[in-house]
A and B are shown apart, each in its own frame.
Chain A
Amino acid sequence: MSAEDQNAYEVEPLLDTNLLKEISKKALVDALNSVNGSKTLVLDPSLAGPLGLVTEVALLKHHGVDKMYWLERGPLPSSTTNIVYLCRPMVNYVKIIADHIKRHAKESSKHNYTLFLVPRLSSLFSRLLEEEGVLGDITISAYNLQFLPIADDVLSLEYESAFRDIWVDGDESVVYDSAQALMTLQRLFGLFPRLLGKGDHAARLIDLLMTHVTQSHNASTPDTLSEPSSNFDSLIVIDRRVDMITPLLTQLTYEGLIDEVLGIRNSHVELPASLVNPPSNPPADAAVAPPAVTSSTSLRKENKKKYHLSSADSLFKKLRDLNFSNVGKQLNGVARRLDEDYKTSLQSKTTAQLKDFVERLKGRLYSEHQSLRIHTGISELLVPMTRTEQFNKSLEIQQNLLASYNISDQISSIEDMIARGADMETILRLLCLASITSGGIKAKALDNIKREFLQTYGYNFLPLLLSLAAPSLAILLPNPLAPTTPSAVLASKYPFPSLRKSLRLLIDDNSEALDEVENDISFVYSGYAPISVRLVQCVAQKGGVLSNPAEKEKTSGLDGSNSVHAVGKVQAHPIVGWKGFEDILATIPGKTVDEVQSPVGVIAPLGGIARPKDKATTTVVFFLGGCTYTEIAALRWVARQNRGRNFLIATTGIITGSSIVDGIAGTKKTTAGSKDAAI
């Protein structure tokens, strides 16, 4: 990344997303303060991560939290009169809470119970508490935890099961909650002048959003909801169902790969403790120490520690979106620079120079050194993984499937991987990818491979296979479809081969320079451009869909005539909806939405909305059902190409193909925690 890119961040400031964090923090403090005196906090384990992004334990202690426990079965020790529950309204929690209260009643210890439901009250929950006969003992209120900034330009609702809820269970609470969260955003920064969306649930979300806006027009309407914002230029909602291909592929950016291999939860990755805590021996040894084979096994045994991958870490900010193949080089460069810095220090003659150096050593140099050590360590963990046969075989199959190259061969390769006992998630990702890209797998081959799958991983995964084939998801289908298949499934057939061409999804990597020049979003998947981001480009960077802006730059650079290109950045064009790409969008299943939000009573023309040229605006991209780190990286790349437009990425959560599969299978990997909760 060049210095010029760095400037881009500084020149065009983003919206202050920390505001959202402050709001959540204040709401939490208010909630805690509403209960007088010291209290025992009983925490939903799935909220610990999100809360960790909002607050720290010290703040809770400061507001009277005496002890914290996980909300789980078993007796609840309680030293304080006040017991505060903080949880999402999950049905299975009712029994646990009721059990606690009944137990206390039996022991005749008296407590005040307060329950904060996230993000809002649930009549179902109250009803169930009533059935348990404990509703009368609890005071219930809501703690409205919405968007959390997980990076400067990324907001997340941190819903882990959003995808499963919507497309497997058909529980649309997530859509409603998302609409509420986007309303909060509008309340803070003004109305989105234009709402664009692709996909049935995206359409539903936009519909809800617009009704919410009209309904909230009453005496207490804040000004921000009555006129289009000058901060935003549009909201683009991408329904995960519209692009199922992208999450199924293996992410190849640094951050994406960490998520794939090590797993990132709420911006935290679990690393071997020795890596997080500075070792006593000089860091230079770490590079010499034998890498590879041992580290993967030791990874499992060694104590793990959570490490926060934050955008405050400037090195990580540089690395996170790079294709992993470039990370080594980048790390090398930083290491060399640090080395130089140390060397210059040795040459310092005067005490003043030395003092200056020590100061730097304490501050910037030290922290840079630390993060270099950690990221080198992480890379060393990742490298052996990327060299395994399974990893490379699955990459190869992915690339072949994307190119629709010899599909039946790919199917037998997948079968071979099953025989070799590859991960269940990897197999299903490949199978679904095969089904989507080729419009279904030949019925006989499919039945055969499904049988192999079930015998290998267990027959209890049969419901999982049925869910993947169910009409709402339809990502693992036979070809041709059974004659009795509902028409909805027929309509949802994905036109991948034509999209590959019209959206320029695959970039031929014949030129050697491809790795060097990140000239298209496809760098994130080493040659494949995520459809979801292409769709965003259809709205916000129309040129980028058709050709590589970077290549154009090269040619015009030869002419030396065009000064605009020499700068390297083009003024972002105004938002004019899907214009120019309507035909392509029509071929993708799911509704297409393009709405203009005008101030009350005034009907704005459906053209581009005129804006002052010099002011940068923000395009909010909302991924309903989650997005991958790779898509975020690609969007950041798009943002860097234009002047005058920033992207704010909002999502229901961060996903990977494996987390989707696990979510549907219901095999949630729970980390065994201690009884005492921690954030």
Chain B
Amino acid sequence: MSEHPTTSWQAMQNGTVFYRRQQLYSILGKLPDLGDYIIAGCRYGGPLAMMRDNTKLIAVGRVTPAHAKFQIQVYSSAGEGLLLFSWDHGRIIRFGWTLNEQLVVLNEEGVYRVYDLQGEYQQYSLGTEASEVGIVDARIYENGMVALTGSLTLLEVKGWEGARPMNLANPNLTDPPMSWAIIPPDSNISRHVEVLLSVENTIYTVDNLESVDQRLSQGPFTHISPSPNGKSLALLNASGTLLVISSDFQRRMAEFDTLNVPSAQGNVKQVEWCGNDAIVVTWDSLAVLVGPFADTLQYYYVGNTFAITETDGIRILGADVCDLIQKVPSSTLSIFRPGSTSPAAILYDAWESFSQRSPKSDESIRSIRPELATAVDGCIDAAGQEWEPYWQRRLLSAAKFGQGFLDLYDPTDFINMGQTLKVLNAVRFYEIGIPLTYAQYSYTSPTHLISRLTSRNMHLLALRISTFLSLKPDVVLKHWASAKIMRTRPVASGTGKDAELDSDEEVCRLIVDKFKQLGDVEVSYAEIAKRAWEVGRTGLATKLLDHEKRASDQVPLLLSMKEDRLALQKAVDSGDTDLVYQVLLHLHKHLTLGSFFRLIEDGGEQLAPASRLLQVYAREQDRDMLRDFYYSDDRRVESAVLALEEALHMVDPSARIAAVKSAQKFFSEDKDRNFEAKMTDEYSRLLTLQQQLEAEADGKVAFFGQSVNETIRTCIINGMLKRADKVKSDFKVPDKRFWYTKLYALTEVRDFEGLDAFSKSKRSPIGYESFVRHLVEKGHSKEAVAYVARCDPPKRADLYAECDEWRMVGKECKDRGDKAKLEQLRKKCPNSLIARELEQIAISMK
């Protein structure tokens, strides 16, 4: 039987708050001396990365060999070695962990690598500016980092995909800060990263907009540590005073003098938070927990320590143990606190009595009947907080016992907790070494846990947990397949080509079989194939790609494999025009123009969409290429259209005429385009004529670029009537259209005499009604009247009415004896005077 939970408890604040120290692992002799190393710990029970601290002297004869190069070792919390790699890329400035347990290592030139736990890495840079001035220091958080450059400015990088570094506001420092820290965007109100710099006596807060002096006077500070939720700051100044203030610098929450700690020797090593409400200050072999009211608890260790803040506690490694110190959760407290009378405590007690066959059990249950449901919930929750399976089981049993007395109880929580604890216990096992608490697990999600396991190559466990929690197994399988490919890399000493082929087949079959066996999950073969290609196994990559159903995923890989046609084909099939552009632009860059065109032209109907997209792009961006493209494919009509479109934007008249002529030539080469050839011919003749006209008018009148109709109109408006006639005959303008155009133009310049002469020049092909209507429409009713007499007799009365010529209306009707019309029009009369007149006419007609 394990020790009772309360044995690890220690009271604070007069026994109202308890902290517990849970020993997670015994790691005696597994880790080198922590004092000699620079260490970075990963949150959520993650691993530790360690690098020899070259500033420290080492006694000769210690086991560790002397290193000429930098070497980074990674250990799990249980002290199991996970990874060891050397670094030969300049001096390391800083290393730290990402949320996905990737190790980021940054050197003085601003180059950083993101390592996974298998030692594979991606390399990025902070830019040329950073490499010139150098990097002095950096702070790395889960989703990015902030670097301090040699010129004492701050650079921020968001995410780990090689994003462009952004400059933060310049704090205008003259010396490097005494110490500094950052509050990550997630725990900041502004949702942007905030940097805290200890400068002289005060602290500057810097974000991407401004740098603000917070006007503290107790500095300089040797340690700045923001709490996990970003709401409070712990500051340690040079005189050993620990200050706790809110992160908006408005409230001071506690003050504590570290010099008064008995048995503390030497300098403070770390100031870290334990959850969000206590601070741990460490010295060699000692960790002091400082509560909100400056009361303390002391924990002694053998040898040097290293502390890692967790969201719900703090992990401390000593030479022999790995501990978790945390505030005792309220559910646990309410059950196990001596003398507790909470319903949960009574339920637990009742269950214990029950298992001892004591009748007290029944009595206890009765007493808490109304709150039984809460009590059950309390037990379930407390089970989640316990480390030892023994106590977990006991608490769950108590909960189950309590459930039996409830009529309606949703057992989902109970079942979930059971499942979760099973998973947690599995990963806490020292060989796995992920000491994850229930709260951390809930925060980071099960899928996160799965990915952590896969990155440790623990595929079987990850797969089993996935299945157990009914998560989709594709993530695990994908990782497994990639790992498989890496592992089965053909050995250099293999027996020639055949050996490799064999193994390609085999590996591919192995992977595909495994996927099929697990229910044909939707795994992206393309990603796995990419992996294969990256390690130089083209054959395997091609084989795997054949299994990929998603066309779009194949494209990038196909491109890098130089399967140009296939890549373009797949891109077109995907319907994603952006993808097609990607391929087109890639090919345009890497192929000669000739073979690029050939590739597209040979594609025929299947690649037609790509061809059309290329034309859209080229029309906007690269007309020369488009011209070549049409030319190489003998597309005369398109060439001609292109020439016409270009002509439209040309300013120089002769260039424009030349462009139109070239279009004409293209059209004339296609025997089906007679009409178009003729039209472009007319077009160029018109432009030439317009040039002449402009010359004749001494450049005072603009003709160039007008249509035939407009040219005629401009001629008439400017009194060049002869010229208008010439245009008419040159371009065989039909009479009707010419007459309308001339009618409109003459009306526009109010040349009514000219109009009269024109109307009499010959019998109007458009009749005279059009004259009347147009003149009326333009507000020249008076002038219109003259033309009414030439219109069809039956329409005259109406037309006179439109001209507002009522007397003539009366006369017309009378002449024609059309009384009905007269009556009809009389209703539209504008005033009574006219109405009476018309009435008289009507009477006279009788």
Does residue A139 face the partner (Cβ distance < 8 Å to B)? yes
Who on chain B is nearest to A121 by CB?
A: B578
Q: How far is the CB of A65 from chain B (nearest CB, A)?
A: 16
Contact A170 B475 (CB under 8 A): no
* Cα distance A179–B577 in the bound complex, in angstroms: 12
Q: Digit string of B572-595 for contact with A (CB within 8 Å is 1, else 0)?
A: 000111110110010000000000
| Chain B interface SS verdict (over half) | helix
* Cα distance A330–B474 in the bound complex, in angstroms: 63
Does residue A356 face the partner (Cβ distance < 8 Å to B)? no
Does residue A462 face the partner (Cβ distance < 8 Å to B)? yes
Who on chain B is nearest to A127 by CB?
A: B585
| CB neighbours of A56 from chain B (8 A) | none
* Cα distance A169–B611 in the bound complex, in angstroms: 10
Within 8 Å by CB of A457, from B579, B679, B707, lies B707
| CB neighbours of A33 from chain B (8 A) | 191
| CB neighbours of B575 from chain A (8 A) | 172, 175-176, 179, 204, 207-208, 211
Contact A451 B679 (CB under 8 A): yes
* Cα distance A626–B581 in the bound complex, in angstroms: 25
Please judge, given known A-B contacts A37-B208, A171-B612, A457-B707, whether A92 and B737 are in contact too, CB under 8 Å: no
Please judge, given known A-B contacts A169-B612, A179-B575, whether A419 and B644 are in contact too, CB under 8 Å: no
Does residue B76 face the partner (Cβ distance < 8 Å to A)? no
Does residue A136 face the partner (Cβ distance < 8 Å to B)? yes
Does residue A366 face the partner (Cβ distance < 8 Å to B)? no
| Total residue contacts A-B, CB cutoff 8 A | 138
Contact B550 A123 (CB under 8 A): no
User: Looking at the complex, which of A212-220, A494-502, A615-623 is the stretch in contact with chain B?
Assistant: A212-220
Does residue B683 face the partner (Cβ distance < 8 Å to A)? yes
Who on chain B is nearest to A208 by CB?
A: B575
| CB neighbours of A451 from chain B (8 A) | 675, 679
| CB neighbours of B579 from chain A (8 A) | 123
Does residue B708 face the partner (Cβ distance < 8 Å to A)? yes
Contact A124 B578 (CB under 8 A): yes
Q: How far is the CB of A473 from chain B (nearest CB, A)?
A: 13
Contact B644 A463 (CB under 8 A): yes
Please judge, given known A-B contacts A123-B585, A459-B683, A460-B648, whether A466 and B734 are in contact too, CB under 8 Å: no
Contact A218 B522 (CB under 8 A): yes
Does residue B790 face the partner (Cβ distance < 8 Å to A)? no
Contact B737 A458 (CB under 8 A): no
Interface size class of B (residues with CB under 8 A): 35 or more
Contact B615 A169 (CB under 8 A): yes
Contact B682 A122 (CB under 8 A): no
* Cα distance A218–B550 in the bound complex, in angstroms: 13
Contact A112 B209 (CB under 8 A): no
Does residue A128 face the partner (Cβ distance < 8 Å to B)? yes
* Cα distance A484–B672 in the bound complex, in angstroms: 8
| Chain A interface SS verdict (over half) | helix
Looking at B686, B707, B740, the one whose CB has the most chain A CB atoms below 10 A away is: B707
Does residue A416 face the partner (Cβ distance < 8 Å to B)? yes
| CB neighbours of B679 from chain A (8 A) | 450-451, 454, 459, 462
* Cα distance A12–B621 in the bound complex, in angstroms: 51
Who on chain B is nearest to A215 by CB?
A: B550
Contact B577 A173 (CB under 8 A): yes
Please judge, given known A-B contacts A176-B575, A419-B740, whether A219 and B585 are in contact too, CB under 8 Å: no
Does residue B564 face the partner (Cβ distance < 8 Å to A)? no
Contact A447 B648 (CB under 8 A): no
Q: How far is the CB of B838 from chain A (nearest CB, A)?
A: 22
Contact A421 B615 (CB under 8 A): no
* Cα distance A456–B621 in the bound complex, in angstroms: 32
Looking at A112, A211, A219, the one whose CB has the most chain B CB atoms below 10 A away is: A219
Query: Apart from A122-B578, A451-B675, what 9 extra A-B contacts exist at CB < 8 Å?
Result: A33-B191, A123-B582, A172-B577, A418-B737, A419-B734, A420-B740, A460-B648, A462-B676, A482-B672
Q: Would you give 27 A-B contacts (Cβ < 8 Å), ordered by A?
A: A36-B192, A37-B208, A92-B620, A112-B208, A123-B579, A123-B581, A124-B582, A127-B585, A139-B166, A169-B616, A170-B608, A170-B609, A170-B615, A176-B575, A208-B575, A211-B575, A421-B741, A451-B675, A452-B734, A455-B708, A456-B737, A457-B709, A458-B706, A458-B707, A459-B680, A460-B644, A462-B683
Write the residues of chain B forming the contact surface with A, with a CB cutoff of 8 angstroms.
Answer: 164, 166, 190-192, 207-209, 447, 471-472, 474-475, 522, 549-550, 575-579, 581-582, 585, 608-609, 612-613, 615-617, 620-621, 637, 641, 644-645, 647-648, 660, 672, 675-676, 679-680, 682-683, 686, 706-710, 731, 733-734, 736-737, 740-741, 744, 766, 770, 773
Write the residues of chain A forming the contact surface with B, with a CB cutoff of 8 angstroms.
Answer: 33, 36-37, 81, 91-92, 112, 120-124, 127-128, 136, 139, 169-173, 175-176, 179, 204, 207-208, 211, 214-215, 217-219, 389, 416, 418-421, 447, 450-452, 454-460, 462-463, 466, 482, 484
